[in-house]
Amino acid sequence: MTTKSSRILLQVLNEMQKTIILAACCVLLLSGMNELIPDVVGDELDEDHALTLEFQTPHTDWAQPYSRRKTRVLFITDCEDLRPRECVELMQRFDIDGKAVFWGRIIDAANSGWHGGAAGAARAAKLLEERWECFVFLELGMQDMAEELQYKLLKQVADGAGIVFVGTDDKRVLKEKNRLTTLPPFLEAESIEAAFTVGKGHGVRTVQRPYIEYRFGWETEFDFWQEQLGRAVLWAAGKEAKSALTLTAARTDAGNVVRASLTGEVAARNPQLQVCVKREGEVRVSFPQQPINTSAPVDLKLPYLPAGTYYVVGRVLGSTGVETWGTTQFIVKSRRSVSDVELTKGWGEVGDAVKGTAKLTGKELPNERVTVRLLDRRGRVLAQQQSTPTQSQATFEFRIEPWMPMLLAVDAVLYADGREMSHAHSWFNITQRNRSQFNLMMWSAPSGTLAPYAEEQLAKTGVTVQLQGGEPPIIAAAYNISLIPYTMRVTPFKDSIPDESMKQYGLPFCWNDESAVADHAAKLAKSYQPARQHGVFAWSLGDETTTQGACLSEHCQKAYRVYLKEVYGTIDALNQSWSTSFKSWDEVGVSKANPHTTDEAYRNYFKSVTTHHNLAYLWFTDPSIKLDEMKFNKEFFEIEEGPAWLQKNYSRWYDRQAFKSWNFAQLCRKYGEAFKSIDPEARTGVEGAGRFGYNDDVDLIIRNTGFWGPYPDTLDEVIRSIASRDYPRFNWMGYQKDADPLLGHYWRMVTRGMDTVAWWTWYVLGAYRGWLAPDLRPFPAVQEIVKDTQIMRDGLGDLLIHSDMQDDGIAVLYSHPSAYASKLENGNSFGGYEQAHKATHELLRELGLQFRYVTDRMLRQGEFDTSRFKVLFLPRADALGDKEAAMIADFVRGGGTVIADVRPGVFGDRCKLRDSGVLDTLFGVKRKGLAAAKSARATVGNSEFSGDGTLVDAEVETTDGKAMGEAGGSPVLISRALGQGRAILLNASMNSLPSLRQADTPQAVEGFILSHLDRAGVTPAVSLKNANGQRLRHIEAIRWKDGDIEILALFRQGGANEEAEVSLPRASYVYDLRNRKSLGKTDRFKTTILANRASFFALCPQAAPPPKLVLGSARVSRGDLATVAISVPGAKGLHAFKVQASQGNQKVDWHDQVVLAGEKPVEIVLPIAYNDPAGAYQVGVVDLFTGEATKATLEVRLRCRR
């Protein structure tokens, strides 16, 4: 640093006590400040910081383009409250070449610093090497910047650049002694607090950014704030306008006028004046452009204007851009006005009424009429009623129709002698839940003044549901977005948490304290009345919650006995299961731990059995928690029924585990009932919670909740199989930055039968990215996602959830007790329960087959419809009750095929160890014991079946079952016919068999499975070959059906692109939905498998006929409801149509909707607003299958006055 530079800086910062350090030291300081901020690579940083003008919002071009050319501005701000978008808004209005650096606590970091960590700090330093004309600190101070960066920045200011502090201050820079005693005329505005000299440069301090509530015309108020901020930036940069335009509202002999006066130096030879007058965002008067000069003012005559606040906008234009501009406001008052629109209630369901009273004040005027109008967010008048007020009020009532938007402005307008005098409005919310449609859900909702713009972008890109806590934002209703209120977070009773330091994360009451739970649930539901009124898609009891829990309180002990009585019926049955001798239910409780049990024994139990799954919520709450280092205690050991496990009293131990799941399900049910008390259609559940590997009682949880949204997991297969179609289900995604893996997660959700895709979160920077960038453009990956998934919003999403996902007659058993039993008596040596199930899924999907889960409870309760299934897989079904075993045997006798891997039914349904497997006779085997798995190579005859790693049960011998192979001397692939069916015991764990995904897997594996499936009557509906004519691997073929129309999806998550030939069982008319083209009638076609991108095909027995589009009337008047009937003559299933309308080249997107229609006509309504333009409209429907549009012309006429 030179002596001269140091001297300049000291002149600016002579009160600073810190020593300016050298650049080399600065590097160390910067890296230290950012050591906990995630590093972001250069290209990503540039994308994160980009201030683009891609998303244009309503604004006035105050100085855009500017006759004094562009101004280079560096914005320094954090990412909160949409501050980066404020920079873009300023750049829209003023001729600014701007860049930004972001500072603050990024959402996934533990401290503050430059976004991007060390790379972000280096980027900031590099930017400060450039020359800037102004630095803008947007509600952020500069005191946390490294001193070297402060020096570089202030050096430029001292040399003549400007600095603006918005809503903040730095008294070291903006010194009171350098404050201008009076503001320069160019800065005379209410938002400018003070102006300063800073060396040769200028500084400005403004007020904080205003918070403007959402209402009609909020954009104009924001526009005026931006105008004043722009003045501050230009003045600080030394680019203030040399002339001034003064606008005043005046009364003259000629009437009311806006007087425009131009003073100062005008560079343009023939300056032109543009002036308009706005009220509530609407241009009420636009004066013709005309010349103006400094010699005389220009009077612009105002027409009659009703009461209200008016904003006047004026600009003087020259050949090189805006020379100067001016603003003013005036208020028009009326002797008689609408003082209030008083609603009977501010919300309602479809079929209810919007009703209330318009209140008038002031002296009555001649010939008064009140028109009450229902306006959408665009100001379109959807319905209206006229009446003559009596006693200074007018009543109104409208029926709420299904076609109405979620948010209405109920606007009352007073007329006297035919002229508008005054108006006022109140908001009305129509409850809409956005169910029975495919949804895109976003975590959290925008807030702050610019939130409506963010919400607009979210809605444009397909967002239909938002999850957040607290009051529902009105802007969500404005864009027809329903909510998932985050009402609470289910955690265990704090006394049941083993580590004292972690009890703070628990609930203050036991889950079975009926009084405490009821009181909390009732208060919670009452506090969320506003959300209920808005429209709730589902009610969330929290994310990343525990899904099991119990404690030792008297409430929990009592509930435990109730549960056990439910399970066993009698105390004798319990005693027989537990090997106990209780005389009454009052004696029943958990086992007591041996006082000599060591802490290490506690730890070993939790590591080997529970794997901490019931404590995982703690880690999600605080990632610094190390579960392996937790201090487990005797009480927690007893809560878990650890003593019974140590004694190998497995049924007693399992009952406790099952109770914990039951407990969670009952708690969810209780809160669900509370929300149903305020919302009869409430669906209550959890999200980001539960795992297949957590051994949850999935069946019971689904029966007691209204929705479930776990992370991507094997669990998804069970949920989509056993939950009703109207049970919402989704996964969370958003945890990568590249489009490929993100699309893989998106399409996986679709192919797993989900009705919603959930994204975390709408806005975030750091290790992840939000849906929208700081400047509110969708991030590049999101843009690709939106493009690739457009067919879902064009009707495919709705069509899939109204079609039946196929299962090829294959069922897979999810057995809750088996999830636990698979860990007992050497069970872990065969691999995990989930591993076996995932291997089963892969096996079936590799063969182009689909399946559906059934559960042990469904078998016990007779809910397993054996007539619709041909094959039942039993992966690691170690625990089976007598009822389940009998049903399985009956299934085989009736012609079904059962395929099990190892140890089927060696435990009972409460995990009590049996003397022999309950299905041993069915499979024709007997067992000697439960030894650990033996690793061996399996052969069939002289052919290799599997490698050395096959995990075989060496304790099994055949009786009347026939073994087709052997492994290490033990029988494998054992088959036994019974009745009309067959039972097959692999006697090797499914997860240890060779994967059909691998090209080197012996053909014998595929042949064995296919031959037995074929014998059972199951064959793949679709054959997929690669370019070499071999079976295509690593591919899923998923089919849905409605009537005789089938939808086929081909999906590969990960991997590479590959050419494929698809063979169908019969010739069909094939429509390629991804590429929007018809492939004609064929039984085979070629396509490209795209990694992470699903391709969809419609398979129809006949060519898709053009839809029939019938207008209820070809001519309607403004204010009418146009009707359109859509049908597909001869169709035996549903087609999806995207309905759109246009007038000339202008799309009228408020009519956009998806319609599912078949042979029976479906009628939709197109509401024509009272203020819609008259003329010819084109109404078109685009068939998802063919991509072809059918159109009709609708003539909209002016309404005749009566």
pLDDT confidence tier of residue 33, bands split at 50, 70 and 90: very low
Looking at CATH, the fold of the domain delimited by 1023-1100 is given as: Immunoglobulin-like (2.60.40)
**What confidence score (pLDDT) does residue 470 get?**
92
Among the four given CATH numbers 3.40.50.300, 3.40.980.10, 3.40.50.720, 2.60.40.10, the one describing domain 243-332? 2.60.40.10
- What would the CATH number be for the domain defined by 1108-1197? 2.60.40.10
Q: Chain-wide mean pLDDT for the chain?
A: 93
For residues 766-778, give the mean pLDDT: 95
Q: Is the pLDDT at 40 greater than 80, yes or no?
A: no
- CATH class of segment(s) 336-430: mainly beta
Check if the beta carbon of residue 556 is closer than 8 Å to that of residue 511. yes
Q: So where are the chain's domains?
A: 3-236, 243-332, 336-430, 494-730, 807-984, 1023-1100, 1108-1197
1003-1038 b/e (C-beta count within 10 Å ≥ 16 → b): ebbbebbeebbeebebebbbbbbeeeeebbbbbbbb
Q: Hey, what are 866's tokens?
A: 């054996």
- pTM, two decimal places: 0.95
| pLDDT confidence of residue 628 | 62
> Hey, is 933 helix, strand or coil?
coil
The architecture CATH gives domain 3-236: 3-Layer(aba) Sandwich (3.40)
3-class SS of residue 200: coil
The whole-angstrom separation of Cα 62 and Cα 234 is: 12
Report the pLDDT value the prediction gives residue 426, as an integer from 0 to 100.
98
Band (pLDDT 50/70/90 cuts) for residue 8 is very low
At 67-118, the pLDDT tens digits run: 999 999 999 999 888 999 999 999 999 999 999 999 876 555 556 788 988 8
Integer Cα distance of 712 and 736 in angstroms: 14
Round to whole Å and give the CA distance between 1035 and 1105.
Answer: 32
Q: What angle do CA 171, 175, 178 make, to 5 degrees?
A: 165
Peptide bond into 371 cis (omega under 30): no
Is it true that 1023-1100 and 1108-1197 share their CATH fold?
Answer: yes
734 contacts 746 by C-beta, under 8 angstroms: no
Higher pLDDT, 318 or 36: 318
Q: How many CA atoms lie within 13 A of 1157 on its CB side?
A: 29
Q: How far apart are CA 723 and CA 699, in angstroms?
A: 8
Say which range, 474-488, 619-633, 1173-1187, has the weakest mean pLDDT.
619-633
pLDDT class of 610 with cuts at 50, 70, 90: low
Q: Quick one: how far is CA 1106 from the chain centroid?
A: 35
Instruction: Report how far residue 708's alpha carbon sits from residue 718's, in angstroms, rounded to the nearest whole number.
Output: 12
Helix (H, G, I), strand (E, B) or coil at 1129: coil
* Rounded Cα–Cα distance for residues 1063 and 1066 (Å): 9
Token pair for residue 600? Answer: 């290490």
Superfamily of domain 807-984 in the CATH hierarchy: Class I glutamine amidotransferase (GATase) domain (3.40.50.880)
Q: Which of 500-504, 713-717, 775-779, 1013-1017 has the lowest mean pLDDT?
A: 500-504
